Structure 1
Amino acid sequence: MMEKPQIAIIISTYNAVEWLKKTLWGYTKQSFTDFELIIADDGSDYRTKALINSLSSLFKRPIVHVWHEDNGFQKSVILNKALLVCKADYILMSDGDCIPEKDFVLTHIKYRKPNYFLSGGYFKLPMVVSQAITREDIDSQKCFDINWLKSQGLKRSLKNKKLSAKGIQSNFLNMITPTKASWNGHNASGWKSDILAINGFDERMQYGGQDRELGERLKNKGVQSKQIRYCAICVHLDHARGYVKEEMLNNNARIRKETRIMKKTYTDYGIVKK
């Protein structure tokens, strides 16, 4: 029997096989390999399962596929189910449209410490660049090189510093960024015991801030946050968001407001139901 992995990586997905494939290729190139991969699948069809089966042997441990039937946007529900199957004590969450740089997992391991969660960011790519990235570009890490990305159609921007900053410069940018160190579903990590203590994600919440609300309850519980958005790098592949509805956003905003005002540390609508 294998020893418990040092970290569990939960990747959420829904019917985005080509993007998930590129994401998983990114995890085959990680410098730190003592992890378990859990795919939190919000009701994808057979193609996602087939992809997972085809790539599972590339990893130290077989990929775990946590799936439920498609019943609308239920990301919070499937993430809670995925949390329960993690064997590791420490959990990193990202999405199936975010390709991780080779030191992505190692950076989360390096900065983790008790009573903290880590807040990473992402670098958004336009559709033309997202489609251009091949497995060779991921293997060679070209897809994180600003000059190569520009050659594929990326426009100049101050945000490009997210990829070009390294070492001392990235640590400095982490310190001075005005962006709050929040729980970001595409790039955040924390202790499983802390997440279970607040009862996981609020399953009433659909698209729009359900990850931030979890982080707000962690902070209300006394868990501190650390900014690593300039040193834990993943590139975000572009996609449409046809599932987003105004009522989802309004409902989530109401729940988040309640969490902040009442300083809630627990949801009655999470993993454990009343």
Structure 2
Amino acid sequence: MSDPGYRLLDCGDRAMTVELGKTVDPTVNAQVIALDAALRGAGRSGLLETVPTYRSLLVLYDPDLLTRADLVALISAHWPPPDGSAQALRRWRVPVHYGGEHGADLADLAVGAGLSPEEVIALHSGRDYRVYMIGFAPGFAYLGGLDPRIHASRRTDPRPKTPAGSVSIGGNQTGVSPPLELPSGWQLIGRTPARSYDPARAEPFLFTAGDLIRFDPIGRAEFDALSEAARAGETVATLERIDG
């Protein structure tokens, strides 16, 4: 039998993981997102939820309405998924106040990298990042594409609480926290007033897997003003659409 290009892993009797690769890779992640869209668009009864990750897709289903064999056939019928590379991408411009009380680890990270804090900020804010997945906590965005010069190991003493909206670096990744205090061992370099998760919104999650994010440095006064606007329900991050 030929290799279908993916591996199926049962997760109990109500979920299945479709594993598409073994490495963190934008092409693999794009396939995950495309398969996610294809399965959700199939409209099959019993397909409850799909959860895209870096390199796999978790599919939750009701075996009383959709048997395992039927799910396997459904996945096969939608593989390979349509190539979405020509479609317009969503890019979010996310304001960030770097350093100071909002980026407690910025100075030490800069020393470790042999850079100034201003150089770290310029490198961090000078490129687009891919949202590989949302996980760990509602709205926490795992981002790929961090400049190797500012890769930084996780802290040896994780914090039991970090500020809501923290922007941080952990290894070769950077991330955006939701408006919740969370434990973390990542290096804190800034904070955004934008709320990646808000249950009061019609769409609670601001970012989705496959989106792009670019960070815009802001001063403390602007951070405070945008924080007030965000509390009043404004998005404060700006959505752009760019060619794929």
Q: TM-score range by the shorter chain?
A: under 0.3
Relative to the length of structure 2, the TM-score reads 0.26
Q: Give the number of the structure with larger relative contact order, counting CA–CA contacts within 8 Å between residues 6 or more apart.
A: 1
Relative to the length of structure 1, the TM-score reads 0.24
- Higher share of residues assigned strand: 2
